[in-house]
Amino acid sequence: MTAGKVSYRAPIAYAAIGLLSLIGFGLIPPSGRHTTFAISTPKDLFTIEPFTVPSKSTAIVFSLVALALAALAFWAARKRIRLGVWLPSVFGLCVLLAFLTWSAADKANSMPVTGLLQGSLFLAVPLVFGSLAGVLCEHSGIIDIAIEGQLLAGAFLAAVVATMSHNPYAGLIAAPIAGALVGLLLVLFAVKYRVDQIIVGVVLNVLVVGVTSYLFSTVLTAHRETWNTPPKLPVLEIPFLSRIPVLGPVLFRQTIIVYLMFAVVIVLQVMLFRSRWGLRMRAVGEHPKAADTVGIKVNRTRLRNTVLGGAIAGLGGAFFTVAAGLAFGKEMTGGKGFIALAAMILGRWSPKGALLAALLFGFADNLQVVLGIIGTPVPSQLMLMTPYLATIFAVAGLVGRNRPPASEGIPYVK
Amino acid sequence: MPGVTPDPQSARLEDPAAETVAPGRGAQLLREITTGNAMISVLAVVAALFLGAVLIGAADPKVQNAATYLFARPGDFGSALWGAVSNAYSALFQGAVYDFDAQTFARAIRPLTETMTMSVPLIFAGLGLAIGFRAGLFNIGAQGQIILGAIFGGYIGFAWHLPIGLHLLLALIGAMLGGAIWASIAGVLKARTGAHEVIVTIMLNNIALYLVAYLLSLKAFQRPGSVNPISPFIDKNAELPLLLGSGFRLHAGFLLALVAAVGVWWLMSRSTLGFTFRAVGANPHAARTAGMSVERTYIWVMGIAGALAGLGGAAQVLGTERVLTGGVAASFGFDAITVALLGRSKPLGTVLAGLLFGALRAGGFAMQARTGTPIDVVLVVQSLIVLLIAAPPLVRSIFRLPDPARAALTGARA
Amino acid sequence: MRLELRGITKRFGSLVANDAIDLVVEPGEIHALLGENGAGKSTLMNVLYGFYDPDAGQILIDDKVVDFDGPGDAMAAGIGMVHQHFMLIPVFTVAENVVLGHEPTGVAGVIDVAKARAQVKEISDRFGFHIDPDALIEDLPVGAQQRVEIIKALSRRAEVLILDEPTAVLTPQETDELIAIMRQLKEAGTSIVFITHKLREVRAVADQITVIRRGAVVGTVAPTTSERELASMMVGRSVELGVVKDAATPGEVSFSVRDLTVIDAAGVRQVDGVTFDVARGEIFAIAGVQGNGQTELTETILGLTRPTSGSITLDGEELVGRSVKEVLRAGVGYVPEDRSTDGLVSAFSVAENLILDRYDQEPFARGLALDPVRVRSSAVERAQEFDVRTGSVDDLASTLSGGNQQKVVLAREMSRPLRLLLASQPTRGLDVGSIEFVHRRIVAERDVGTPVLIVSTELDEVLGLADRIAVMYRGRIIGTVDAHTHRDVLGLMMAGVPHDEAVAQAAAHQTVLGQADRAVETSSEEDA
């Protein structure tokens, strides 16, 4: 065999998690309890009745399947076979189902599966836009730590413009402008003054928090009616499609920002890897000098794409105000920009991956809310930690090798 | 080449012609003053305060009112603007340094002692981050490390009952340990798996926030008979002694911070350990080839940085607050990033920057209370200071100062 | 197309890289630009390619003044360049690299991959390159990457092709192929500017030779000019073409590598069952094309990489499993192949760099505390001994020239008692004076009885310096030969041909460079 050391890190982690799941959700809890899952919503074409399963045995079954997958991972690592993303995905799903079965055991409320997914998608919106901004910036060679600031700026301007114009769509158009401005500052300092991009990003976040909080405390609070009562984006139901059980409410009973999100992901996925624009951008992020020698203007490319990235993150910021139907509040993005950054890494710098990772984080976020409602045994603070813990596991390499664009963060000097 | 920024560390690398030129001594001295780093720092602060003033003016109702008839009576606008800004900034100054309206001298200098008190955690955490920056680690995690220091130090402080001296010592050691452990997670992951410390420390900050909230929901951390998320008072023997009696909050933590600054200076410029830190920071490949363990260095650096930030947490919980709450770290950890950057990662610079930001914070509270100007404007000023300092050419062009490299060249021709 | 440069001047700060350079390249001419490292050849070509703005001077194409605002303009004017460090994006395919900057596109800017592929295929077939348009650059050997660069230039209809040190990474046989390509291009009417510091190649291929020294043109001569004459034009004084040294007097074997195998994280056998011995007082050189496991071999000896199997012994002590620090302490002096990355901390002072691997030992440290006074005084001595030209030992290493930087590395590594000197590419990128100094020092170390292991991709250096030569190919030692082996034989071995076969093939077909070697040998015999 022509091979080096085999890494068993991932299989060991799978096995450990599977065992914990088996013991914690299956073996320790008392038997005789039942869990109910609710599927349908009132407007569906046909109704799927809520169904009830015995908690203990269901959790044990899911945990055992997870353990079997762990064994498969061991075998594959030994034989040096790559299994693809389906393994961690199915594994995660099994552990999750075991957990859900356990957490909703013998509760008065059933586990609202469709609601859980619907909310997850909704909460993933800013994460998706934010991580797409990161994808664009980093592929052109600029590290975007300022996603948080771009989201916040977008949320702010969307609220103000929507309130002033009494039109949520006007807010939606204004939000990208705010994000683009933050992107412009980022790229200006990074390219023109060659300041460390992480420093600029961190500081821009503080600057945006400062400016928006200041204006919030003064102008927005003093005249709330004229400045900060944004109308909410209406839900646009797609005829027929929206009435398909589970899928309908999740995918087709959303506001325009969700549909926009899918459109942007698809367009970027295609354009980034197949178009002239994408090829040139990635060339600049990988090997700027090589790009320069074939006549591509490196810094102009970085400028354009960072500003565009900022605009996309800004659009995501509109989620917090006009899409959620909330007034702007101080620091209302609450660190979502950083989770978006993590989603970008977890999604390995591709729009598709960013979408999936963001959905995962959105799910974790919404799960905590749902479990709070049905009353789980897990303290909410610990639930709230999970996305962050998951990110650490992800970047520590359990998910596989990460390869960022080779020249990100390095100013281009001839 | 216009717009080229020599980074602060490599300032000596600038045009070699600068050294060979020998113009008149007076002119040279003048040039050093106008182009030197100290001058840039002072001017950056001035420019940031000016931009802050614009924000203060823009949000002031009287100024807004006067602006509506600006062309009819520009004098009104000017005096309204001057009034708003000078009120705010003089309140800021009186709240940070010396209160002219105070009845007694003790009350008059009280703001200065508040500034010093506020600067303690900033200096501690800033020193830790500075070590990391020089070792090439972008540690964003001071916030989490302060929280862990506060948890460990606080718990020892209120839960244990030990003789005087020993109790404080153990609480301080515990705080250092807490911060060091938390930071080391990022260090170990970086060393073992290459996980980027920026992402890991950002995640650890959030986890720490939920961790302290969770702990404060437990009986062991709450006051007897209370369910509020607030700990019992720190044992008298574990308190950091007050320096100026009970009328002031200034405590021995300030002296400890100064001692720590001297210690960091010795560590970085006079010790073999610091030599490794600097070598790894400047060129990890060469350091490794010369037989240094880059991985071990990462762990050491994060450990020491975390211990220092942990002391910052101890200063809060054992000195300033004397009780553990979820908000014990305020935003000190994030402000410390800007402190370390402003101090150019040097111990003396960090102490001075810590005092400045301590003053902005202390004065900001006074300003908010007296004039109603929200403290958020301080965030704006802080972030602008750091942005401007990172981009000396920008500051030079704002104040129309000569570029040192160009100045030297023109000097040579003349 | 006729190309003319008039009075080109380019300054970097106080350094004048090009000083009023004039150069004329006639249509269909192979024009060599000869000069030693740092003479300003690449700077001049980067000016011509629109990459740098000249401070003074003009570029004329067919007697019309042109002004390039970036490489895009230069390419549009018909100038193509193959850079010394290839300007290819490792994670892109050949086709993507070739079309980058002038992509054939369809709807909404989506790239027409079929067209791109066809473009590559057409040129590749025309010159017999055998390049797969869909291969990733990072998977291609350097020779193939160079051909991709040529395709890239030709696909943009270059009429003047600049080749910057194109032979640095090639074996003599590959160099021959390149020369054939150059002649083929010339036939097709393309002018070629061929930048090099190697005397033999220019004489073999050029129509005109322009020699540059310290940024200025020394003269333009015909290729019939003798090597000795070209060398003295290039350096500005008469130079020894070979390394001056006495015959080796090898002692007992003190350094042994046995069955060393290194498999990297991706499962590739970088070093594959390597075995060799080095005796005291001999220089043992490992030759080979870059990327055949030499880097991994030296890094494994130093302890940076753990071998999968095998052993490395120095004076009977096993080195495998020891840390870098322990290996250095055992008496190994190490000169890394890339001094700016691995040899020096450029943001540190010369004095600090001189103690980089001994900073924590007496007399530089006591316990945890450094002794700055001793560090400095020792540095002053070392700098003097090794002729490091610097204003002060407190100057940053980054302010030194390449030659002086390498002297700092040597001074550090050779200023303690050595039991093995391991030097990788010891003279890469240095000027002739520094090369002579480094070679003298290495020979002197051999003469005091230290075993010396040299790894070099530069055949001239290997032939000049070594007492015995091993050739590495795809991680294995394909053969160990004596120092008088012919260049062509070594070249074939570097391409993976075993020794006996290589001798036969070399006899059947001499390369251009090999012929030049023979000519030199006969002439020196006549001299004697």
DSSP string, C369-385: EE-HHHHHHHHHHHHHH
Spatial CB neighbours of B219, under 8 Å, sequence gap ≥ 6? none
| Domain containing residue C319: CATH number | 3.40.50.300
The model's pLDDT over A387-396, given as tens digits with 9 standing for 90+, comes to 788 788 877 8
Cα(B361)–Cα(B95) distance, rounded to whole angstroms? Answer: 9
Sort out which chain C residues have CB atoms less than 8 A from B286's CB and list them.
341-345, 356
In Å, how far are C210, C457, C458, C520 from C516, measured between CA atoms? 20, 19, 16, 6
CB of B240 closer than 8 Å to CB of B252: yes
- Please compute the mean of the pLDDT values over residues C280-302 and round it to a whole number: 94
Q: Using CB atoms, which residue from A193, A213, A389 is nearest to B5? A: A193
- Residue A364's closest CA among A352, A377, A382, A347? A382
- Please compute the mean of the pLDDT values over residues A383-388 and round it to a whole number: 82
Sort out which chain B residues have CB atoms less than 8 A from A335's CB and list them.
206
Q: Note whether C84 and C166 are same-domain residues.
A: yes
The model's pLDDT over B290-328, given as tens digits with 9 standing for 90+, comes to 999 999 999 999 999 999 999 999 999 999 999 999 999
* Closest chain A CA to residue C105: A276
CB proximity C100 to A under 8 Å: yes
- Residue C414's closest CA among C375, C447, C442? C442
For residue A221 the two structure tokens come to 């609070």
Cα atoms in the Cβ-side hemisphere of radius 13 Å centred on C507: 5
Please indicate, yes or no, if residue C502 is contained in any of the structural domains: no
Q: Which helix (H) or strand (E) holds C82?
A: strand C79-82
What backbone torsions phi and psi does residue C363 show, to the nearest 5 degrees? -90, 5
Q: Please, what is the average pLDDT of chain C?
A: 91
Residue A135 in this model has a pLDDT that exceeds 90: yes
Instruction: Please count the residues of chain B.
Output: 414
3-state secondary structure at position B264:
helix
CB proximity A6 to C under 8 Å: no
Which of residues C182, C212, C235 is at a domain's end? C235
Work out the minimum CA distance from A354 to partner chain B, whole angstroms: 16
Q: Note whether C400 and C390 are same-domain residues.
A: yes
CB proximity C369 to B under 8 Å: yes
Please indicate, yes or no, if residue C289 is contained in any of the structural domains: yes
Sort out which chain B residues have CB atoms less than 8 A from A386's CB and list them.
none
| Residue of A5, A139, A275, A276 for testing the chain C interface, max C β-carbons within 10 Å | A276
How far apart are the two ends of chain B, measured CA to CA in Å?
Answer: 21
Residue B28 in this model has a pLDDT that exceeds 60: no
Residue C251 in this model has a pLDDT that exceeds 50: yes
Cα(C427)–Cα(C243) distance, rounded to whole angstroms? Answer: 13
pLDDT of A408 reads 85
Q: Note whether C424 and C402 are same-domain residues.
A: no
Amino acid identity for residue B204 in this structure = L
Task: Identify the band that residue C120 occupies on the pLDDT scale cut at 50, 70 and 90.
Answer: very high
CB proximity B147 to A under 8 Å: no
Domains and CATH numbers, chain B: 112-357 (1.10.3470)
- Please compute the mean of the pLDDT values over residues A301-329 and round it to a whole number: 95
Which of residues C451, C466, C485 is at a domain's end? C485
pLDDT of B12 reads 33
The model's pLDDT over C365-407, given as tens digits with 9 standing for 90+, comes to 988 999 999 999 999 999 999 999 888 999 999 988 888 999 9
Computed on alpha carbons and rounded to an integer, the radius of gyration of chain B in Å comes to: 24
pLDDT of B17 reads 35
CA A351 to chain centre: 11
- The interface residues of chain B toward chain A in range 358-377, judged by CB-CB distance below 8 A, are 374, 376-377
pTM: 0.88
- Please compute the mean of the pLDDT values over residues C80-107 and round it to a whole number: 92
* Closest chain C CA to residue B289: C342
Task: Identify the band that residue C524 occupies on the pLDDT scale cut at 50, 70 and 90.
Answer: low
pLDDT of B13 reads 33
Of the listed ranges A1-10, C274-283, C321-330, the least confidently predicted one is A1-10
Domains and CATH numbers, chain A: 9-106 (no CATH), 114-372 (1.10.3470)
The domain of C422 spans 243-331+418-485
pLDDT of B36 reads 66
Residue C203 in this model has a pLDDT that exceeds 90: no
Strand partners, C415: none
Task: Identify the band that residue B158 occupies on the pLDDT scale cut at 50, 70 and 90.
Answer: very high
Q: Please, what is the average pLDDT of chain B?
A: 87
Q: Note whether C182 and C289 are same-domain residues.
A: no
The model's pLDDT over C418-473, given as tens digits with 9 standing for 90+, comes to 999 999 999 988 888 899 999 999 999 999 999 999 999 989 899 999 999 999 99
**Are C88 and A297 in contact (CB < 8 Å)?**
no
Q: Which long-range contacts (CB under 8 A, 24 or more apart) does B210-213 make?
A: B210/A381, B210/A382, B210/A384, B210/A385, B211/A381, B211/A385, B211/B147, B211/B148, B211/B151, B212/B147, B212/B150, B212/B151, B212/B324, B212/B326, B212/B328, B213/A381, B213/B326
- The interface residues of chain B toward chain A in range 199-258, judged by CB-CB distance below 8 A, are 199-200, 202-204, 206-207, 210-211, 213-214, 217
Q: Note whether C277 and C367 are same-domain residues.
A: no
**Are A207 and B393 in contact (CB < 8 Å)?**
no
- Please compute the mean of the pLDDT values over residues B257-270 and round it to a whole number: 96
Q: Note whether C67 and C100 are same-domain residues.
A: yes
Work out the minimum CA distance from C375 to partner chain A, whole angstroms: 32
Of the listed ranges A396-405, B226-235, C240-249, the least confidently predicted one is A396-405
Which of B198-202, B282-286, C522-526 ranks highest by mean pLDDT? Answer: B282-286
Residue B20 in this model has a pLDDT that exceeds 50: no
- Split into its structural domains, chain C has a count of 3
- The interface residues of chain A toward chain C in range 269-288, judged by CB-CB distance below 8 A, are 270-271, 274-277, 279-280, 282-283, 286-287
Q: Using CB atoms, which residue from B12, B285, B405 is nearest to C396? A: B12
CA C190 to chain centre: 27
Spatial CB neighbours of A1, under 8 Å, sequence gap ≥ 6? none
Please indicate, yes or no, if residue C513 is contained in any of the structural domains: no
Work out the minimum CA distance from C88 to partner chain A, whole angstroms: 6
Percent of chain A with pLDDT over 70: 97
Q: Note whether C61 and C138 are same-domain residues.
A: yes
Q: C-alpha dihedral over C145, C147, C152, C154, to 10 degrees?
A: 170
Of the listed ranges A78-87, A267-276, B196-205, C413-422, the least confidently predicted one is A78-87
CB proximity B76 to C under 8 Å: no
* Closest chain A CA to residue C76: A295
- Please compute the mean of the pLDDT values over residues A9-37 and round it to a whole number: 87
CB proximity C52 to A under 8 Å: yes
Q: Please, what is the average pLDDT of chain A?
A: 88
- Residue C442's closest CA among C471, C465, C416, C417? C465
Residue C6 in this model has a pLDDT that exceeds 90: yes
Q: Note whether C122 and C90 are same-domain residues.
A: yes
CB proximity C345 to B under 8 Å: yes
Residue C286 in this model has a pLDDT that exceeds 60: yes
- Whether ipTM exceeds 0.85: yes
Which of A28-37, B208-217, C515-524 ranks highest by mean pLDDT? Answer: B208-217
Neighbours of chain A (3+ CB pairs under 8 A): B, C
**Are C100 and A283 in contact (CB < 8 Å)?**
yes
Residue B16 in this model has a pLDDT that exceeds 60: no
- The interface residues of chain B toward chain A in range 341-360, judged by CB-CB distance below 8 A, are 341
Size of interface B-C (CB pairs under 8 A): 82
Percent of chain C with pLDDT over 70: 98
CB proximity B59 to A under 8 Å: yes
Q: Using CB atoms, which residue from C334, C348, C396 is nearest to B279? A: C348
3-state secondary structure at position C163:
strand
CB of C111 closer than 8 Å to CB of C103: yes
pLDDT of B70 reads 80
Report DSSP state, residue C468. E
* Closest chain B CA to residue A402: B195
Report DSSP state, residue A333. T
Of the listed ranges A139-143, A348-352, B21-25, the least confidently predicted one is B21-25
pLDDT of C201 reads 85
User: What number of other Cβ atoms are within 10 A of residue A190's Cβ?
Assistant: 27
Work out the minimum CA distance from C343 to partner chain B, whole angstroms: 5
DSSP letters along A312-326, please? HHHHHHHIIIIITT-
Please indicate, yes or no, if residue C505 is contained in any of the structural domains: no
Q: Using CB atoms, which residue from A274, A294, A295 is nearest to C111? A: A274
Q: Note whether C431 and C296 are same-domain residues.
A: yes
Work out the minimum CA distance from C427 to partner chain B, whole angstroms: 18
For residue B381 the two structure tokens come to 């000023």
Cα(C62)–Cα(C45) distance, rounded to whole angstroms? Answer: 18
Cα(C367)–Cα(C362) distance, rounded to whole angstroms? Answer: 9
Q: Note whether C273 and C348 are same-domain residues.
A: no
| Residue of C12, C105, C110 for testing the chain A interface, max A β-carbons within 10 Å | C110
* Closest chain B CA to residue A205: B383
Work out the minimum CA distance from A251 to partner chain C, whole angstroms: 27
Size of interface A-B (CB pairs under 8 A): 132
Percent of chain B with pLDDT over 70: 89
- Please compute the mean of the pLDDT values over residues B180-203 and round it to a whole number: 91
Work out the minimum CA distance from A245 to partner chain C, whole angstroms: 36
For residue A254 the two structure tokens come to 């959303």
Q: Note whether C231 and C277 are same-domain residues.
A: no
- Please compute the mean of the pLDDT values over residues A323-338 and round it to a whole number: 91
3-state secondary structure at position C350:
helix
The model's pLDDT over A106-126, given as tens digits with 9 standing for 90+, comes to 887 788 888 888 889 999 999
User: What number of other Cβ atoms are within 10 A of residue C221's Cβ?
Assistant: 18
**Range list of β-strands (E), C120-214:** 160-164, 191-196, 208-213
Residue C37 in this model has a pLDDT that exceeds 90: no
- Please compute the mean of the pLDDT values over residues A91-119 and round it to a whole number: 85
**Are A293 and C92 in contact (CB < 8 Å)?**
no
Q: Note whether C437 and C397 are same-domain residues.
A: no
For residue C358 the two structure tokens come to 């001994």
Work out the minimum CA distance from C265 to partner chain A, whole angstroms: 6
Amino acid identity for residue A350 in this structure = S
- pLDDT: which is higher, B223 or C512: B223
Computed on alpha carbons and rounded to an integer, the radius of gyration of chain C in Å comes to: 24
